[in-house]
Amino acid sequence: MADTRSDLAKDLLPKPFLDQLGIPGDYRTSFEDEAGNPISYERFQAAMAKRPFDLEKDATGHRVTFKLENDAKIARQAAAKTKPKALAIQDHPFPTFHATTLDGAPVSTAVLRGKPFLASFFFAQCGPCIAETPVLSAFHQAHPDMAVVAFTFDDPATARDFVITRKLNWAVVADQAELADRAGVKVYPTLMLVDEKGVVRKAVHTDDIAPGGKPLDLPSLSAWAMDTH
């Protein structure tokens, strides 16, 4: 039987994700592997956990193509990296917010003031976000004095399913597309180290933390987060 599922962007990908990438919901979507061969959305989503992607938008044809990056491009990018590229919010105050975690606890910039915390921006369908959760969990256990607060544009039900499935053991705040936008988050996952005064001391895309383009691990994350120089 032929696959009759819609290939419209709005039917496959979360709206906040499309908005941040500037992709209209009525665009047709297609997916390619690292060799340029057509693949299914399911295969593309699974590969995102290990491989970055590019996209090409065709405004005339109302189509967007997501392409997994090949090894040669990944190697060139890794060789070009000397240190994590800071986001624009670095050295500026973390955006003011007032919210409630999935556990029902109030959380805000005022509540967090006075102690450093690690802000994690993710969404449930993000492969690299899924891949980094064991590392964040290990970091949270290794550094109990530093709070970890995760923000997602997902609705509470989707976020709660993610927390249960991935066994997250830190505070998670849903429906935070507006906060992510004010924080300048364009790529997921993103991590920000916020000091006790509420200033963002470090802000990078997670895949920029480990040296040489390697997957994030606990030593790399700990070295990045605990080095305040």
Q: How many other C-beta atoms can be found within 10 angstroms of the C-beta atom of residue 113?
A: 14
Q: Which residues contact 199 (CB under 8 A, 6 or more apart)?
A: 91, 92, 93, 94
Strand 171-173: give its sheet, edge to edge.
171-173, 147-152, 117-122, 190-194, 200-205
Q: What's residue 2's pLDDT?
A: 41
3-state secondary structure of 212: helix
The domains of the chain are located at 9-77, 82-226
Buried b (16+ CB within 10 A) or exposed e, 114-148: eebbbbbbbbbbbbbbbbbbebbbebbeebeebbb
Report the C-alpha gap between 209 and 98 in whole angstroms. Answer: 29
pTM of the model: 0.67
Q: How many other C-beta atoms can be found within 10 angstroms of the C-beta atom of residue 55?
A: 13
Q: What's residue 196's pLDDT?
A: 92
Report the C-alpha gap between 173 and 106 in whole angstroms. Answer: 10
Q: Which fold has domain 82-226?
A: Glutaredoxin (3.40.30)
Q: What's residue 155's pLDDT?
A: 93
Q: What is the pLDDT along the chain (229 residues), one digit of tens a residue?
A: 344 456 787 787 777 777 767 788 889 998 999 999 999 888 888 887 778 888 888 888 899 898 888 887 766 665 555 455 678 888 899 999 999 999 999 999 999 999 899 999 999 888 889 989 999 999 998 888 889 999 999 999 999 999 999 999 899 999 999 999 999 988 889 999 999 999 999 998 888 887 766 788 888 898 888 875 5
